[in-house]
Structure 1
Amino acid sequence: MSSPSPRPHLSRRAVLGAAGLAVTSGAALTACSSDADPAATAPTTGGTLRAAFAGGGADETIDPHRVNLFADAARAKAVYDKLADLGADMAAVPRLAESWTPDADLTVWTVKLRQATFHDGSPVRAADVLYSYRRIANPDETFRAKQDLAPIDLDASKALDDQTVEFVLKYPLAEFPNSLAAFGAYIVPEGAETFDAPIGSGPFTFVSFTPGSEFTAARFDDYWDGAPNIDRLQIVVADEESARINALLGGQVEYAHDLSATTARANEGNDAVTLIASPGSNMLGFAMKTDRAPFDKPEVRQAMFLLCDRDELVESVLSGRGQIGNDLYGLGFEHYAADIPQRERDLETATQLLAAAGVTSITLDTADVGSGFTEAAQIFAEQIREAGVEVEINERNADTYWADVLTEGQIASYRSGAMPIASHISQRLLTDSPTNLTQWHHADFDELYLKLQSTADDAERETLYQEIQQRLHDEGGYLIWGFADWIVGTLPGVQGVAQAPANTLDWARFDKVWMA
């Protein structure tokens, strides 16, 4: 998710006051005491769940096609549905789409819709799907899902009947369902343009929204996937992590989003809070520019891989709450090349490679744009110095960091949230990828990826995935040292919160949450 525009951080008192946390529902939940039965598993109904998220002030939105922040995405998920979503392994899972079937050459996909209704009682139709996708694809707009829907020829695509969409693609695409699960690809009613009082087909109906403060929604009893357990959902803004955890500990909210490993370690053994970690949700590493010295030499990139002490980084930066990486994206995800042996530190070989290449110094870019970013850079710099190479740490402007390091510098601190491995490749590793930070430009690699995407046979496609990842492991520009847990906190009585990476199906599934 991109960072919100800079603005003053509110104190916990100011945040919660502005959010209007005096719950109006008579069935509102109170803070759970430590004597709540943690073993209770049978879902119960009723009450209001209050969830604290970092916000973005005036930039926050409930237009589902403009979602950018985690808070935006949580609100959109409450009110709207997509045709598909991503499971914990990043494989597409049907939602409003009951099924999808390709033709023989993977250029025409027929999508059957399930029986679902919008909050005004009207049915979800093929016309609503096509309208939503055409709105996202508007060339005058910058909706985030536009790139994921780009393979669709929306002029040629059509509704076969109210429950069937025929998507015509511009080229063969074996993993088209991932496009249906794209971030922000929500279905709105045909003709919807304003979202002051939005109507969706999701589990909650809109009640109120104040950007930078609060969002309230009520249970939709006719939701196709079953009515939510709670009566009402409030999403409140608390920019600072300390405000979120303190509001949780104080009983002013029942759910706190996006907690750091440091906060988790500080609250281990605290009966007043339940910590829920989703392993491997965030990738952490360094991106080397493969088109310029010294990292245009594969042996220099190999030396960096071998210098990295991944265990030290996971233990120090993540307080042990994570897993070491093997310089490949998507640990545990569908198609991940788990059979490639784990790379180990080899200081002697790395030192020899750097000496032979004549490398005596590098500049490592970093910024305070994420938990542990600068700490990881400092630790890795010390590991590099053991090979006799001087390292200058360049602290860049946090507000412009991602734009700056996209084209500038030699090597930079890097992170990524969860997405399908195919999306990681298409967005970051093709010659014309929009965020090709490592400047990885290889026509034969592009051709291999296109071959993968047009291969219908699952086994053949899996072989191509392994070939692509082996090449990236051998000579790519991403040094991926670890995968951090995604951590949220709840009061002990909150049940049904899944261990799920952010932006996947079971993340922020507040319709499935209940209070014991």
Structure 2
Amino acid sequence: MHDEHFPALRRRGFLAATGAASLGALGLAGCGGSGSASGDGDGKADGTPKKGGRLRAAFAGGGAGETLDPHLANLFADVARAKALFDKLADYGADLSARPRLAEKWEPNKTLDRWRVTLREAEFHDGRPVTAEDVLYSYRRITDPKQAFRAKASLEPLDLEASRATGTRSIEFVLKRPTAEFPNLLAAFGAYIVPWHARDLGRKPVGSGPFRFVSFAPGRSAVFRRNDGYWDGAPHLDELELVVANEESARVNALLGGQVEYAHELAPATARAHEGKGQIEIVRLRNSAMQAFCMKTDRPPFDDKRVRQAFFLIADRAELVDGALSGAGEIGNDLFGKGYEYYADGLPQREQDLDRARALLKQAGAENLKVTLDTSAVAAGFTEAAGIFRDQARKAGVTVDVRMGSKDSYWSDILDSGTLCCYRSGAMPIEAHISQRLLSDSTTNATKWRHKDFDALYQQAQSTSDKTRRAAVYARMQRRLHSEGGFLVWGFADWIIGTARTVKGVETKAPANTLDWARFDKVWLG
């Protein structure tokens, strides 16, 4: 995305380019400071927290059409703003298991199709308590068939007509089917709780989050002030400003020039150039993005599992991580969710074996195979990965033609068309990855993996209350995918953040999309 909102960013400096609205807001900061958000090796905040100051954080944004409505959150900048203003009932920990937030606890019935949720005592910014009616209103708003809110699919298992408030702070959720991973629904991307009396969420939001709304200039800047009555403890910062800078170079220059204290989403080359040099801090969030090639299992040549298995063995994963990610990541093992809850880490690490790959292709009658690999500059490393894999495949006698796609339509184009494509995914629970991408009726089933017996295993897992037995079912499903699935998962990319040296308290073990990522209520300026 080009930085069309700051065309003079590099020439005249960040502050000059952000315009009068942002300049006026920045003027409120006084000595609010330079900041660097760093933590120690254990992922815990370093030093003693200090109160005060304004932290300015730069994100890529969505232009003049941006909104503060949390149910419309899509970009990382949207989520950062939503997390500052609102809460969910639950959110994901570093291992992608659900952690209580506005929900104090949840309890299922024996058949896992009814769950009772008890809310903690919390208030919206206008002083009204967060109640069961607010929760039901929020979820019904999200699932309104006339709307296109992202969390709608995640909340699909809920029967919201039958669900009801059983008290001011208690709700009985009725589900359409047994759902052992019900807490994941509460933590779903975009499932924020808003007040039932909300009228203008997009411009003057009232939430229950750690910061209160001050001002918003779409495509430019949003300013928030500390919520002293926040249920999880008042933020250390007086104020938070989230500014938009779409080009990575603009975010880096603003950080180096002292116009911001936090720069989101930096390139590996930038991290290498500055890491350990002392001017800024580099924070690497491990395992934040799965990197893969997606093989369509419903069409030639990948409808033959021997061809898929051959492609698993063609990949030199270390070379792909080094070349496509500049080493900023770790190798994958053809499964999503490395390090997450339920991940099948006992399976042997797959290695390149070109002789075995050629033998499998011969058995499948696919010698001298030619395939087209769709890629695009839509994501960092995609074009590099395509070129590297093309060269690796050539050594196995496979000709890979790389086809460049549009950045604007790539994700919709590759969902149903083509046979092989570059693919990535952010963090989500392994259960959500399966339900959204690997069931016969999954709406984003890019590999076209459709097997009724696999669907049945998922339903078995969701009907199993004992966690150990449920984990065994997920392990069985992953063994199948590792053997013959359609995702060639070659790596997991780091998510890279830059901070000024005086920012403290940034969690270093929180993949993107989890609770402690882009969470500014626990950050302070040293």
TM range (shorter): over 0.9
What's the CA shift string for 1:226-276, capped at 9, x where partnerless?
000000000000000111111101111000001121211121232111001
SS in structure 2 of the partner of residue 440 of structure 1: coil
What's the CA shift string for 1:191-227, capped at 9, x where partnerless?
3242221100000000011111000000000000000
Going from structure 1 to structure 2, the CA distance change for 1:223 and 1:89 (only over 3 Å counts) comes to: same
Equivalent residues in 2 for 1:35-184, closer than 5 Å: 41-184=47-190
| Counterpart selection for 2:321 from 314, 338, 354 | 314
In the alignment, structure 1 residue 29 sits paired with structure 2 residue 35: no
The residue that corresponds to 2:517 in the other structure is 507
Going from structure 1 to structure 2, the CA distance change for 1:111 and 1:32 (only over 3 Å counts) comes to: closer
Q: Shift of the alpha carbon at 1:24? A: 2.7
State the number of aligned residues: 510
The residue that corresponds to 1:469 in the other structure is 478
What's the CA shift string for 1:111-135, capped at 9, x where partnerless?
0100101101111111111111110
Q: Shift of the alpha carbon at 1:40? A: 6.0
In the alignment, structure 1 residue 188 sits paired with structure 2 residue 191: no
Amino acid at match of 1:307: I
The residue that corresponds to 2:413 in the other structure is 404
Going from structure 1 to structure 2, the CA distance change for 1:65 and 1:14 (only over 3 Å counts) comes to: farther
Going from structure 1 to structure 2, the CA distance change for 1:447 and 1:10 (only over 3 Å counts) comes to: farther
SS in structure 1 of the partner of residue 87 of structure 2: coil
| Alpha-carbon distance in structure 2 between the residues aligned to 1:80 and 1:71 | 14
In the alignment, structure 1 residue 10 sits paired with structure 2 residue 19: no
What's the CA shift string for 1:261-297, capped at 9, x where partnerless?
1211121232111001111111001000101111110
| Alpha-carbon distance in structure 2 between the residues aligned to 1:147 and 1:5 | 30
TM-score (norm 2): 0.94
Could you tell me the percent identity over the aligned residues? 58
Going from structure 1 to structure 2, the CA distance change for 1:26 and 1:281 (only over 3 Å counts) comes to: closer
Going from structure 1 to structure 2, the CA distance change for 1:6 and 1:47 (only over 3 Å counts) comes to: closer
| Alpha-carbon distance in structure 1 between the residues aligned to 2:166 and 2:398 | 64
SS in structure 2 of the partner of residue 141 of structure 1: coil
| Counterpart selection for 1:295 from 287, 302, 305 | 302
Instruction: State whether residues 35 and 504 of structure 2, in contact with CA within 8 Å, keep that contact through their aligned partners in structure 1.
Output: no
Going from structure 1 to structure 2, the CA distance change for 1:8 and 1:510 (only over 3 Å counts) comes to: closer
The residue that corresponds to 1:445 in the other structure is 454
Amino acid at match of 2:28: S
| Alpha-carbon distance in structure 1 between the residues aligned to 2:418 and 2:511 | 30
The residue that corresponds to 1:493 in the other structure is 502
| Alpha-carbon distance in structure 1 between the residues aligned to 2:5 and 2:102 | 40
SS in structure 1 of the partner of residue 193 of structure 2: coil
Amino acid at match of 1:61: T
Instruction: State whether residues 10 and 239 of structure 1, in contact with CA within 8 Å, keep that contact through their aligned partners in structure 2.
Output: no
Amino acid at match of 2:142: I
SS in structure 1 of the partner of residue 443 of structure 2: coil
Equivalent residues in 2 for 1:241-390, closer than 5 Å: 241-359=248-366, 360-390=369-399
| Alpha-carbon distance in structure 2 between the residues aligned to 1:512 and 1:114 | 20
SS in structure 1 of the partner of residue 491 of structure 2: strand
Moved more, 327-336 or 495-504: 495-504
Amino acid at match of 1:478: F
TM-score (norm 1): 0.96
Q: Shift of the alpha carbon at 1:178? A: 0.3
Instruction: State whether residues 10 and 238 of structure 1, in contact with CA within 8 Å, keep that contact through their aligned partners in structure 2.
Output: no
| Alpha-carbon distance in structure 2 between the residues aligned to 1:510 and 1:472 | 38
Going from structure 1 to structure 2, the CA distance change for 1:177 and 1:68 (only over 3 Å counts) comes to: same
Amino acid at match of 1:484: A
| Alpha-carbon distance in structure 2 between the residues aligned to 1:9 and 1:313 | 34
Q: Shift of the alpha carbon at 1:31? A: 3.0
Amino acid at match of 2:502: G
The residue that corresponds to 2:214 in the other structure is 207
Moved more, 463-472 or 357-366: 357-366
Equivalent residues in 2 for 1:195-234, closer than 5 Å: 195=201, 196-234=203-241
Amino acid at match of 1:448: L
The CA RMSD measured in Å over matched residues stands at: 1.8
Going from structure 1 to structure 2, the CA distance change for 1:6 and 1:50 (only over 3 Å counts) comes to: closer
